[in-house]
Structure 1
Amino acid sequence: MAIKAYSYAKDGSKALSKNFHVREFRCKDHSDPIFIDDELVTLLQKIRDHFGKAVNINSAFRTASHNARQKKASKYSQHLYGKAADIWIAGVSVDALAAYAETLLPGKGGIGRYYTDGFVHVDVREVKSRWVTQ
């Protein structure tokens, strides 16, 4: 897959898939451009289709300066490359969401369970990484 650069001003409303648009992946610091990996969009769309409910994105692409201000962020976070999203679905538990993501990422990708904050981190890195944070 490929990482693409988009402009929020120019492409914010652009559909990336049936249910996802460029604006949903924007860094919380409101910067431009926005980097998004096609494989991440495909993963999120599969999750959306499986549960039949909106997938809410807390955080996707992050600039280095914004990432550095995050308490639990890795210095080399996949968010920096447009390859990660922190997601939740109303009425779906962290465990159920992570378990389904596991079926889509056997042997690769990152899946982190964040119970206190109520979301699951998913990313499309080449190696497998799993973690739990209370």
Structure 2
Amino acid sequence: MRDHSYAKDGSKALSKNFHVREFKCKDGSDPIFIDDELVALLQKIRDHFGKAVNINSAFRTASHNAKQKKAAKYSQHLYGKAADIWIAGVSVDTLAAYVETLLPGKGGIGRYHADGFVHVDVREVKSRWVM
């Protein structure tokens, strides 16, 4: 995991299709923590579907995370290891099923059908849920 400054590194490319600014906390804080393995996972998803991967939420500060209705107290977002994503024209189930092929036996995958996104994270243990 690396920390980045939104002010200094906001436009810095982390991979072919992702930049530091996409991972910032919604509270506008600086720095931003971003796990390299998460970026690699998102890039694989982008390459597979050939469409933009939209990030609703990635890194969160503890104070911002505490304000989220469905957030876990020790959310992987706090460590820069998670992103809530969606792809235009791709269902939650289709997206989650593909991510499952990339994270067999590890990582977190949460299906949020009502909100239209998939939570993905690169934790060492396997966790799956549907909301």
Q: TM-score per shorter chain, which class?
A: over 0.9
d(CA) in 2 for partners of 1:93, 1:72: 21
1:70-110 Cα distance to aligned partner (Å, 9 max, x none): 00000000000000000000000000000000000000000
- State whether structure 2 residue 93 is matched by structure 1 residue 95: yes
Q: What residue is the counterpart of 1:37 in the other structure?
A: 35
- Residue identity over aligned pairs, in percent, reads 89
Query: Aligned partners of 1:15, 1:57: CA distance in 2, in Å?
Result: 15
Rounded Cα–Cα distance in structure 2 between residues aligned with 1:53 and 1:67: 28
Q: Which residue of 1 is the match for residue 50 of structure 2?
A: 52
Listed one character per residue, the Cα deviations across residues 33-65 of structure 1 (whole Å, up to 9, x for unaligned) are 000000000000000000000000000000000
After TM superposition, which residue ranges in structure 1, 4 or more long, deviate above 4 angstroms? none
Q: Which amino acid letter does the alignment assign opposite residue 25 of structure 1?
A: F
Output one character per residue of 1:101-125: Cα deviation in whole Å (capped at 9) or x when no partner: 0000000000000000000000000
1:104 maps to: 102
Q: Which runs of 5+ in 1 are unaligned?
A: none
TM-score with structure 1 setting the length: 0.98
Structure 2 gap ranges (5+) = none
CA RMSD of aligned residues (A): 0.1
Question: What is the SS of the residue equivalent to 1:120?
Answer: strand
Q: Deviations over 1:11-44 (max 9, x none)?
A: 0000000000000000000000000000000000
* 2-structure distance, mates of 1:29, 1:101: 28
Give the number of aligned pairs.
131
1:121 aligns to 2:125 (yes or no): no
